[in-house]
Amino acid sequence: MCAEKVNVCSGGPTLIFACSGAADVGEVSDRAARKLTKEGAGAMFCLAGIGGRVEPIMKKTASASKILAIDGCNLDCVKLSLKQAGFNNFVHMRVTDLGMEKGKSPANEENINKAAAKGKELLG
C-alpha cells in the first residue's frame, strides 16, 4: 500500500502546483491545492521555486511520481512555468473550466470543494 503524501509504490511524491494569482480563481486554485494536501492526496509544492530554478525544488519535482498543475484561468501560468522548466509529465486542470468565471467566483467552500474534487479525480 502506498504512503499518504509519498507514492512509495512508484518511488516518488505526488506534488501539487497551484496558481496563487490575484484573481478570485487564483485563490480558489491555491486553496484547493491546500485542501488536497490536508486530505493527503499529495503535497502542495512551490511554483516560485520552479520559476527561479531553485535546485532542491527542481530535484524533488523531477523525482515526483505524479504532478498536478492547477491553473485559475486560461493564461495557464502553472502549466507554462512547469513546461518552461522542462517538466512535461503532469496532469493539468483549469478552475475556469469548472464553470467558474474570473472576477465572479469567490473562494468560498463550494468553489474550493469543486476544484479540489476535480484535482482528486485527476490524481486518481
At 90, which amino acid appears? F
- Tell me whether residue 111 is in a domain: yes
pLDDT score recorded for residue 30: 98
- Tell me whether residue 113 is in a domain: yes
- Tell me whether residue 34 is in a domain: yes
Q: What is the pLDDT of residues 11-59, one digit of tens each?
A: 799 999 999 999 999 999 999 999 999 999 999 999 999 999 999 999 9
Burial class (CB in 10 A: 0-12, 13-18, 19+), 51: middle
- Tell me whether residue 9 is in a domain: no
Q: What is the pLDDT of residues 73-124, one digit of tens each?
A: 999 999 999 999 999 999 999 999 999 999 999 999 999 999 999 999 999 9
- Tell me whether residue 91 is in a domain: yes
Residue 8 has pLDDT above 80, yes or no: no
- Tell me whether residue 5 is in a domain: no
Task: Provide the number of structural domains found in the chain.
Answer: 1
Range of the domain at 105: 18-123
Residue 4 has pLDDT above 80, yes or no: no
- Virtual torsion, Cα 74, 89, 113, 29, nearest 10 deg: -40
Assigned C-alpha cell, 57: 525544488
Q: What is the pTM of this model?
A: 0.90
- Tell me whether residue 7 is in a domain: no
pLDDT score recorded for residue 11: 76
pLDDT score recorded for residue 39: 97
Residues 69/89, Cβ–Cβ less than 8 Å: no
Residue 22 to residue 89: CA distance in whole angstroms: 27
- Tell me whether residue 3 is in a domain: no
